[in-house]
Amino acid sequence: VSTSERRRNRRGEGERLRAEIVAGAAALLEETGSEEAVTLRGVARRVGIAAPSIYGHFADTDEILQAVIGQAFGVLDEALQRAEDESTEEDRLVAVCLAYVRFARQKPHVYRVMFGRHRSTEGAAVNRTRPVDELSGAQAFERLVAAVCARTERPPGAGSLRDATVLWVALHGYVSLQTAVPAFPWPPADDMVETLIARFLGGFGPEL
Amino acid sequence: VSTSERRRNRRGEGERLRAEIVAGAAALLEETGSEEAVTLRGVARRVGIAAPSIYGHFADTDEILQAVIGQAFGVLDEALQRAEDESTEEDRLVAVCLAYVRFARQKPHVYRVMFGRHRSTEGAAVNRTRPVDELSGAQAFERLVAAVCARTERPPGAGSLRDATVLWVALHGYVSLQTAVPAFPWPPADDMVETLIARFLGGFGPEL
DNA sequence: TGTACATCAGTGAACGCGCGTTCACTGATGTAC
DNA sequence: TGTACATCAGTGAACGCGCGTTCACTGATGTAC
């Protein structure tokens, strides 16, 4: 995302601007730390285009944010997959959890928007529980479930859904609070992740 | 917070408006679910006064939000204290945790603002860890520490700070995600809290 | 007890600003002949 | 190979709106005499 002069895209490559807009909005969000700073005109300035040029690709600012969120879920999933691939079954859970925490710490404000907005319109029905695999982030969550199963040496099932939920909740609480209240005396991230896993999967953490 | 006609406060009672502004801002935040909806003019409309009337009590909108947050921390602390008072040492931890969760569920958007904004300016130094008791919510946190100690039958100390941190992180993650992703198949709140505490204490939750 | 006056609580009109959105447009680029 | 043309990618100016903020003000209320 540079500030240098923009060259108009060639014919047939108009879709490139779409990607630039998403990248610009993500950068703007992460830099300012404020969702309110992500305005249509603000994004246009950041990308280096005239404001109306956005309408060719997005109907409104919310659509841009949705695209930012969607892309971020993809990046998160890739990070978890890499952690999966580069770990043994034994240390997979730690690796996946650390990758999750690292993702959240690298893009704290994008992360906050991913998991901090009330998304009541997700799917058709409101006030209705849906299967996990229909929600955004489903793939990432499934990786966590798989890593839990690898660690507890149990087959996937309702129990591992519960286990993964408990662990997810703890990881999310950790990274969110660390971003929001940096002045709190947090333990080092590795320690914290290990402790969370040990405690919430029924083992004993260090120093307990 | 009514919409009925306002009567001008009598002499010497001008401070009443301050409280009305804070209440109006909190109501507006909770109803709209959006921090962006809490504008100076919006709050004035909600309270039923002219916009400039606010300047007698607050310098800007952020000051109003700070007051809302401060008051909410007071309410949270009172709720936890009530839970303390009405419980035995044995079931104190469950009672305090449930009170925390209930508070967050009753005012989910106020809660989100309390713990979701990056407060880098808290205290003088930036990027610097501070003792817990200098942060907002310190009293509430101390109640959690005390409840953990009551349950583990250990004296307060570094270990219980760590314990309370781990539990806090889990509770916060739970209530935040439940608000943000209501479509996720969450277990009932009581089950979830019990599971979190049971796991956290190194025991075994139900169905594990 | 009455009355003039200072003060307090709050107002109404006006401003400049950035926002989202519309409209007619421009100019480069590829294509048909 | 040249040229007319359609199309594509993006622009500039303008609009109405709600916002924060200022300013001089109003009118009720308590107080001093």
User: Checking phi first, is residue B127 left (phi over 0); if not, alpha (psi -120 to 50) or beta?
Assistant: left
Whether A2 has a pLDDT exceeding 60, the answer reads: no
Inter-chain CB proximity A186 and B202 less than 8 Å: no
Amino acid A126: pLDDT: 66
A69/chain B closest Cα distance in angstroms: 14
User: What's the pLDDT score for residue B98?
Assistant: 97
Distance CA B99, CA A81 (A): 38
CA/C1' separation B18–C7 (Å)? 19
Residues in chain A: 208
User: A113: phi > 0 → left, psi -120 to 50 → alpha, else beta; which?
Assistant: alpha
Give the pLDDT of residue B206.
37
Distance (Å) from CA A7 to C1' D4?
26
Residue B114 confidence (pLDDT): 97
Q: Which residue has the tokens 């950790």?
A: A174
Q: Are the CB atoms for B143 and B84 separated by under 8 Å?
A: yes
What distance lies between CA A23 and its chain's CA centroid?
Answer: 15
Residues A79, B144 contacting (CB under 8 angstroms):
no
| Distance from the first to the final alpha carbon of chain B | 47
Q: What is the pLDDT of residue B12?
A: 83
| Cβ pair A118:B180 closer than 8 A | yes
Query: Distance from A122 to chain B by nearest Cα, in Å?
Result: 8
| Cα(A29)–Cα(A35) distance, integer angstroms | 6
Question: How far apart are the CA of B87 and the nearest CA of chain A, in angstroms?
Answer: 25
Tokens of B58: 């607050």
The rounded radius of gyration (Å) of the Cα atoms in chain B is 20
CA distances from A193 to A78, B10, B56, B122 (A): 20, 57, 48, 26
pLDDT of residue B208: 34
Centre a 10 Å sphere on the Cβ of residue B203 and count the other Cβ atoms it contains. Answer: 10
What's the CA–C1' distance between A11 and D7, in Å? 9
Cβ atoms of A54 and A46 within 8 Å: the answer is no
SS3 A107: coil
CB pairs under 8 A between A and B: 156
Closest-CA residue of A relative to B170 is A170
Average of per-residue pLDDT across A190-198: 95
Task: Give yes or no for a contact between A17 and A97, defined as CB atoms under 8 angstroms apart.
Answer: no
What residue type is assigned to position A114 of the chain?
Answer: M
Cβ pair A183:B118 closer than 8 A: no
Give per-residue pLDDT as tens, B135-170. Answer: 999 999 999 999 999 998 888 887 889 999 999 999
pLDDT (0 to 100) of residue A202: 65
**Nearest CA-CA partner of B97 in B150, B38, B43, B27:** B150
Low-confidence ranges of chain B (pLDDT < 70): 1-4, 119-126, 202-208
Residues A151-160: tens digit of each pLDDT: 988 888 878 9
Give the one of B120, B181, B187 whose C-beta lies nearest to A182's C-beta.
B120
Pairwise CA distance, residues A112 & A33, whole Å: 9
**Partner-chain contact B119 A180, CB within 8 Å:** yes
A111 contacts in chain B (CB < 8 Å): none
What is the reported pLDDT for B111? 98
pLDDT at A73: 98
Lowest mean pLDDT among A64-78, A110-124, A141-155, A175-189: A110-124
pLDDT in tens, A112-151: 999 987 766 555 566 788 899 889 999 999 999 999 999 9
Strand C bases contacted by the protein (CB, 7 Å): 7-14, 18-24, 28-30
**CB of B45 closer than 8 Å to CB of B84:** no
